[in-house]
Structure 1
Amino acid sequence: MAYEPPTHSVERSLRATTGAKIVVGIDEVGRGAWAGPVTVCAAVTGLRRPPTGLTDSKLLSPKKRTTLAQELHSWVTAHALGHSSPEEIDGLGMTAALRLAATRALDALPVRPDAVILDGKHDYLGTPWAVRTVIKGDQSCVSVAAASVIAKVRRDAMMAELGAEHMDFCFEDNAGYPSPVHRAALRELGPTPHHRLSWAYMDGLPRWRHLKRVRSTPEPVGLEDEGQLGFDF
């Protein structure tokens, strides 16, 4: 499928209108999964020509993503990853967990950004960061696309490691997202220590429903995820 490659137009605009010298792109992966962490990458790319084929990680094959991520590691000016665990997601809610993971990524950068480009329409990061939200930024902004690829490849590798520990769930194939194999394993074996126990899919597991955790603070309207809405098993 043909697609328009990302550009530096938003990065250039932020430099011109705000005086920002260091602009970072942020993207997350794993928000809609039932198991595993949510992972955020912060990437600083400057204004150099990006590697050929760079785009939203979801538009790339696993092989292409992996190859591109290896190239991006040496191409980006700086990047860092942050994670929030399933326990943190259950305890804080997804919005706060995303903020925590993004803050960890930003704090791990060797430079402090003057402006942040955040993929999507909701600013889950907030102050003290100067944030510009961009819908489908992972397709249109070079720095966000780079963050998307690096985050996706890293989290997939983490889930493959968990898959070796919990072979019936095939995390190496589904990355913790709902799939027929994942659902069947949940019905038979119940959740692993890596599952998000506050989510509504737990209501569809009568044998294991007693393990569900209840959050006292609901997610803000518009920030819910598919995993929180539940599925029929």
Structure 2
Amino acid sequence: MGAMPYEPPTHTVERSLRATTGAKIVAGVDEVGRGAWAGPVTVCAAITGLRRPPAGLTDSKLLTARQRAELAAELRQWVTAYALGHASPQEIDDLGMTASLRLAAVRALEGLPVRPDAVILDGKHDYLGAPWRVRTVVKGDRSCVAVAAASVIAKVHRDNVMAELAVDHADFGFEANAGYPSPVHKAALEKRGPTPHHRLSWAYLDALPQWRHLKKVRVAGGGATREVEGQLGFDF
């Protein structure tokens, strides 16, 4: 893949967790899809051990689509284990983003063949919580091998999911924008309205008067949603 203009990730945090907590199995966890208007939020949990990672490994956002695809194929064979978890748009609408991230992360972690002794979570917020032993690391997808691996695998997998959805919703450009805001996506929403794969609790519907009646918010104290008109969505 050639020389990279950034420092490669290391096992520093994994080694620290082993030394300070006795953790023998450490999983890196990263998410993708948090800011999208459509599609699931996807979380990958990856266990890598302390082996030398493939060349070019870094935060998925720093790689081209081709680099990500090639690296993800290599990583799926290289990692000790990995698993993916999703929370659907409907679950996001019902539960909110923080709870949905936790749901997807637990699904990923419980999908691993072994239970990690500790988890490295990308970012500064612990959306996972007890009973998991969590270490949050800002920019962990750049600095930690296991989190970087999870970042790449999650991104490529979710992009493929959105490309499959594009077959039945060609006007929305999901194969290119992965459900995130883009001119093509916005134009299709104005013309056709949200698909079954859109998050209906999000504020983009406030700018679409013809579709605003579909807006949903969570009912306080409960998980169900109700339809409302003209109300702001939650700030995720």
TM range (shorter): over 0.9
Partner AA of 2:42 in structure 1: T
* Structure 1: gaps spanning 5 or more residues: 219-226
The aligned counterpart of 2:83 is 80
For the 8 Å contact 1:201–1:228, the answer to whether it is kept is: no
Dislocated runs of 4+, deviation >3 Å: 227-230
Q: 3-state SS of the aligned residue for 1:177?
A: coil
What do residues 125-156 of structure 1 show as CA deviations (whole Å, max 9, x unaligned)?
00000000000000000000000000000000
1:25 and 2:23 equivalent?
no
What do residues 21-53 of structure 1 show as CA deviations (whole Å, max 9, x unaligned)?
000000000000000000000000000000000
Q: How many residues align?
A: 222
Equivalent-residue separation in structure 1 for 2:220 and 2:39 (angstroms):
21
Q: 3-state SS of the aligned residue for 2:132?
A: coil
Partner AA of 1:116 in structure 2: V
1:2 and 2:9 equivalent?
no
The aligned counterpart of 1:197 is 200
The aligned counterpart of 1:60 is 63
Partner AA of 2:20 in structure 1: T
1:13 and 2:13 equivalent?
no
Q: 3-state SS of the aligned residue for 1:79?
A: strand
- Normalization by structure 2: what TM-score? 0.92
The aligned counterpart of 1:169 is 172
1:149 and 2:152 equivalent?
yes
The aligned counterpart of 2:127 is 124
Offset at residue 2 of structure 1 (A): 1.1
Offset at residue 216 of structure 1 (A): 2.7
Offset at residue 229 of structure 1 (A): 5.1
Q: 3-state SS of the aligned residue for 1:165?
A: coil
Which of 27, 34, 39 lines up with 2:42 in the alignment? 39
User: Given the superposition, is the C-alpha separation of residues 114 and 217 from structure 1 closer, same or farther in structure 2, using an over 3 Å criterion?
Assistant: farther
- Normalization by structure 1: what TM-score? 0.93
User: Given the superposition, is the C-alpha separation of residues 213 and 184 from structure 1 closer, same or farther in structure 2, using an over 3 Å criterion?
Assistant: same
Equivalent-residue separation in structure 1 for 2:37 and 2:219 (angstroms):
19
Offset at residue 214 of structure 1 (A): 1.1
Partner AA of 1:187 in structure 2: E
The aligned counterpart of 1:215 is 218
Partner AA of 1:46 in structure 2: G
Q: CA RMSD in A?
A: 1.4
What do residues 90-146 of structure 1 show as CA deviations (whole Å, max 9, x unaligned)?
000000000000000001000000000000000000000000000000000000000
